[in-house]
Chains A and B, each alone.
Chain A
Amino acid sequence: GAVVSQHPSRVICKSGTSVKIECRSLDFQATTMFWYRQFPKQSLMLMATSNEGSKATYEQGVEKDKFLINHASLTLSTLTVTSAHPEDSSFYICSAPRLAGSTDTQYFGPGTRLTVL
């Protein structure tokens, strides 16, 4: 079964509104979660690393005031797209790594498709 959930799976909103996306690890604690966005026919682009108990680390070119990240607990990270515009329309995916020496892996949420009208 899924080990990382993401909600909502799809959202359509008007330009200027804010949208919150939740990412939860279901059966393990994740002190770190990653947020990616993916445009059609392109690869996943790392936006930021969400750290439980501290500020998120943003990749170069990603506006931290535009994409607010809060890692509220060991199982929940949220991404809020503030004052969304049509160019923010994209597929947003979160992931939670499990780093354990020889068994590093990364579990992805199912993704959220955001459409801004």
Chain B
Amino acid sequence: EDKVVQSPLSLVVHEGDTVTLNCSYEVTNFRSLLWYKQEKKAPTFLFMLTSSGIEKKSGRLSSILDKKELFSILNITATQTGDSAIYLCAPLFTSGTYKYIFGTGTRLKVLA
């Protein structure tokens, strides 16, 4: 059975802290993995990862994929209250057709 597990489920930190969010997956015919940030409505795209060991960066956010160990991490440095959101990972894989399955999500709250 295809599954995606994120940890921790929730996290409360103070502004300026660094956080690491984890995503482990077990899917057939993996193609890529996407990270999203969801605040009040639909998720917004953060990163797409296809190759192991290549870090992607966008400002204070960075992410990396390990296809051997089947996990990805999302790092946020110098957190701000605006980073408070649910962070979702979603591997893209084929099971007849292409599809995404979302992880459980990590709910991050950054306190001022």
Query: How far, in whole Å, are A99 and B97 apart by their CA atoms in the complex?
Result: 12
Interface residues of A in 19-50 (CB under 8 A from B): 32, 34, 36, 41-46, 49
What 0/1 pattern do residues 59 to 89 of A give for CB contact below 8 A with B?
Answer: 0000000000000000000000000000000
Nearest A residue to B43 via CB reads A108
CB of A17 closer than 8 Å to a CB of B: no
A contact residues, total (Cβ < 8 Å): 26
List residues of chain A with CB within 8 A of the CB of B109: none
**Could you tell me if B42 and A106 are in contact, using CB atoms closer than 8 angstroms?**
no
**Could you tell me if A104 and B104 are in contact, using CB atoms closer than 8 angstroms?**
no
What 0/1 pattern do residues 64 to 93 of B give for CB contact below 8 A with A?
Answer: 000000000000000000000010101010
Query: How far, in whole Å, are A27 and B14 apart by their CA atoms in the complex?
Result: 41
**Could you tell me if A32 and B97 are in contact, using CB atoms closer than 8 angstroms?**
yes
List residues of chain A with CB within 8 A of the CB of B98: 32, 97, 99
**Could you tell me if B92 and A97 are in contact, using CB atoms closer than 8 angstroms?**
yes
Query: How far, in whole Å, are A107 and B42 apart by their CA atoms in the complex?
Result: 10
Nearest A residue to B31 via CB reads A104
Out of A57, A102, A106, name the residue touching B90 (CB < 8 Å): A106
Q: A110-B41, A110-B42 are in contact. Are A46 and B99 (CB under 8 A)?
A: yes
Q: A43-B103, A99-B98 are in contact. Are A93 and B31 (CB under 8 A)?
A: no
Out of A44, A57, A97, A107, name the residue touching B88 (CB < 8 Å): A44
In terms of DSSP, what is the predominant structure of the interface of chain B? strand
In terms of DSSP, what is the predominant structure of the interface of chain A? strand
List residues of chain B with CB within 8 A of the CB of A104: 31-32, 34, 48, 50, 92
**Could you tell me if A111 and B41 are in contact, using CB atoms closer than 8 angstroms?**
yes
**Could you tell me if B99 and A49 are in contact, using CB atoms closer than 8 angstroms?**
yes
Out of B32, B42, B101, name the residue touching A109 (CB < 8 Å): B42
Query: How far, in whole Å, are A46 and B88 apart by their CA atoms in the complex?
Result: 13
Question: What are 16 A-B interface contacts by the 8 Å CB criterion?
Answer: A36-B102, A43-B88, A43-B105, A46-B99, A51-B97, A97-B98, A99-B31, A99-B98, A102-B50, A104-B48, A105-B34, A105-B45, A106-B45, A106-B100, A108-B43, A111-B42
